[in-house]
Amino acid sequence: MWKRLSEANLKMKPTIIYKCQKCGNYTLAANTQKTKHCPYCGTTINLQKAQKIAAGKNAFEASEILKHLKTQRGFDRKPT
Ligand SMILES: [Zn+2]
């Protein structure tokens, strides 16, 4: 019960969408993080230098924005 509550609190942190400088994919990180490994190419992204694409009030909102951005770019569509 308490563990669940603290996990929920973690997800309420403001979350930024960054663009990986190497592969150009988008990734999420809390605004308190300084570096992040890109889940696509594995490079270490310096979040203070990386391009910020968008920001959400929490991880959930940021992931919704990210989903929308990916749809716009066609990442989720399979080539026909
Ligand atoms: Zn990358």
Q: 35: CA distance to ligand 1 center in Å?
A: 13
| In the chain, where the domains are located | 12-73
- The answer to whether residues 55 and 9 touch, using CB atoms and an 8 Å cutoff, is no
Q: 12: CA distance to ligand 1 center in Å?
A: 25
Q: 41: CA distance to ligand 1 center in Å?
A: 4
What does the pLDDT look like over 43-52, one tens digit per residue? Answer: 999 999 999 9
* Residue predicted with more confidence, 7 or 67: 67
What does the pLDDT look like over 10-43, one tens digit per residue? Answer: 568 899 999 999 999 999 999 999 999 999 999 9
* Residue predicted with more confidence, 58 or 2: 58
SS3 letters for the chain?
A: CHHHHHHHHHCCCCEEEEECCCCCCEEEEECCCCEEECCCCCCEEECCCCEEEEEECCHHHHHHHHHHHHHHHCCCCCCC
Instruction: Assign a CATH topology to domain 12-73.
Output: Rubredoxin-like (3.90.820)
pTM: 0.76
